[in-house]
Amino acid sequence: MRHFLTLKDFTKEEILEIIDIGLDIKKNLASKVYKKELENQTLGMIFEKSSTRTRVSFEVGMFQLGGHALFLSNRDIHLGRGEPVKDTARVISSMCDMVMIRTFEHSMVEEFARYSKVPVINGLTDSYHPVQLLADYMTLVEYGVDKNIVAAYVGDGNNMTHSWLMLAAKLGFELRIATPKGYEVNPDILSQALHIAKDSGAIIKTMNDPMEAVKGATVVTTDTWTSMGQEEEKEQRIKIFKGFMVDDKMMSLAAKDAHFLHCLPAYRGLEVSEEVFEKHSEIVFNEAENRLHAQKGLMVWLDRQR
């Protein structure tokens, strides 16, 4: 049995296999096999933070594969009132066939997985957002740029950045990360990625100049400057991140026909300009839809491992 907590635990071949299953399901959803692939299975979904895409894509995805999903908000279950993670894990995993968790500390999903009898999926922690990167990579495959990725991430060194680091390290592409001083990626995660990159041939560079990062990039991406849980820092962050908005001037330095990705929700006028967002909205909303397809690939893959 496998869990999906970070891309670090997966080989390049496994990541590509998950994407391939997702793309196949996207093409052949009507097939009898996929409609019954997770028949009679239940996905428990624990949310300690808000969500639009993750909740809808997992719930709809499970339904489309013949299963059922349970939305468990920490406002409603005893986890939010102090029932220990390890007890919650033993109870929920004795009744559900798979569990997805969105929470704060990454150690919470690790602890849950240690006590779980069924596969656990990380639906976002403060440290990583790996299911988003499955959808992002699937989108790059569909747009035919997966063989020529020079990615530039501009903004906060957060859960999305850490997952980009792991994806680049595993798949072996070039990733430049530009953050303001003091908002760099976690140095431990960076050093793990650099270690993995030695084998894959990935080129990973971190810097504080966004213009340098986007020069010649084929993919430019960003994320909110204020992640869930950091709301009190919002005003201060807006001041510090000045100069990090992905706008037309910045995009003009990227490769001709460079793609822009955003995990959403997007805040126009902060991490991305209205013009850049709308110009690239087709790929961004395909990226959002691919959450559904990539995660179906993931759930099928995890189910086949046991």
Residues that bind ligand CP (CB under 6 A): 51-54, 124, 132, 263-264
In the list ligand NVA, ligand CP, none, the entry touching 224 (Cβ below 5 to 8 angstroms by class) is: ligand NVA
Whether 291 is catalytic is yes
Residue indicated by tokens 């010649």:
216
Catalytic residue among 176, 291, 295, 303: 291
Q: What is the 3-state secondary structure (H, E, C) of the chain?
A: CCCECCHHHCCHHHHHHHHHHHHHHHHHCCCHHHHHCCCCCEEEEEECCCCCHHHHHHHHHHHHCCCEEEEEECCCCHHHHCCCHHHHHHHHHHHCCEEEEECCCHHHHHHHHHHCCCCEEECCCCCCCHHHHHHHHHHHHHCCCCCCCEEEEECCCCHHHHHHHHHHHHHCCEEEEECCCCCCCCHHHHHHHHHHHHHHCCEEEEECCHHHHHCCCCEEEECCCCCCCCHHHHHHHHHHCCCCCECHHHHCCCCCCCEEEECCCCCECCCECHHHHHHCHHHHHHHHHHHHHHHHHHHHHHHHCC
Look at residue 287 and give the partner it binds from ligand CP, ligand NVA, none, a contact being a CB closer than 5 to 8 Å depending on partner kind.
Answer: none
41 is catalytic: no
Cα 220 from Cα 224, distance rounded (Å) = 14
Query: Cβ(165)–Cβ(186) under 8 Å?
Result: no
305 a catalytic residue: no
Q: Which residues inside 250-279 make contact with ligand NVA, applying CB under 6 A?
A: 263
Residue type at position 57: S
**Residue 287 found at the interface with ligand NVA (CB under 6 A):** no
Among the listed ranges 29-37, 64-72, 133-141, 220-228, the one in contact with ligand NVA (CB under 6 A) is: 220-228
Stretch that binds ligand NVA, among 23-31, 153-161, 187-195, 241-249 (CB under 6 A): 153-161
Give the nearer residue to ligand NVA in terms of CB position, either 141 or 228: 228
Residue 158 binds ligand NVA, judged by CB under 6 A: yes
Structure tokens at 172: 């072996």
Asked if residue 294 binds ligand NVA (CB under 6 A), the reply is no
159, 218, 222, 273: which one binds ligand NVA (CB under 6 A): 159
Nearer to ligand NVA, 96 or 283 (CB): 283
Cα three-residue angle 128-270-127, rounded to 5 degrees:
10
Between 101 and 196, CB nearer to ligand CP: 101
Instruction: Provide the mask over 113-152, with x wherever binding to ligand NVA is found by CB under 6 A and - wherever it is not.
Output: -----------x----x-----------------------
Q: Is 306 an active-site residue?
A: no
We find the least distance from the C-beta atom of residue 229 to ligand NVA, in angstroms, to be: 7
Report the residue number, 38 or 292, with the smaller CB distance to ligand NVA: 292
CB atoms inside a 10 Å sphere around CB 1: 12
Q: Is 176 a catalytic residue?
A: no
- Out of 102, 106, 162, 176, pick the active-site residue: 102
The nearest distance, CB 263 to ligand CP, in angstroms, is 4
Q: Which residue is nearest to ligand NVA (CB)?
A: 227
Whether residue 87 lies in the annotated active site: no
Q: What positions carry a catalytic annotation?
A: 102, 129, 132, 223, 263, 291
The residues binding ligand NVA (CB under 6 A) are: 124, 129, 158-160, 223-224, 227-228, 263
